[in-house]
Amino acid sequence: MPTVPIPLKPQESELGLDLQTVLNQVYAQARYALRIDYSQPPPPPTLAAADQTWVDEILRAERSTQ
């Protein structure tokens, strides 16, 4: 991840924020390594009923053309 410039007062030079370091610290402090079982596939997203119906219709139509 990039380091992004953070503007300060006009007379001061920009401060660089290392986003990778921030992400690593948040990951460690939130203890995601203990919460997430990375040996398992992620759960499928849950869609609203109307969206799931729409997806099912598209998949059905796609299968009928094969």
Residue 15: pLDDT band (50, 70, 90) is: very high
Q: What is the average pLDDT value for the chain, to the nearest integer?
A: 91
% residues pLDDT > 90 (the chain) = 64
Domain that holds residue 31: 3-64
CA distance linking residue 38 with residue 40, whole number of Å = 5
pLDDT of residue 45: 82
Q: Tokens for 40?
A: 């398992």
Neighbours of 66 (CB within 10 A): 4
Number of domains in the chain: 1
List pLDDT tens digits, range 16-42.
Answer: 999 999 999 999 999 988 888 888 888
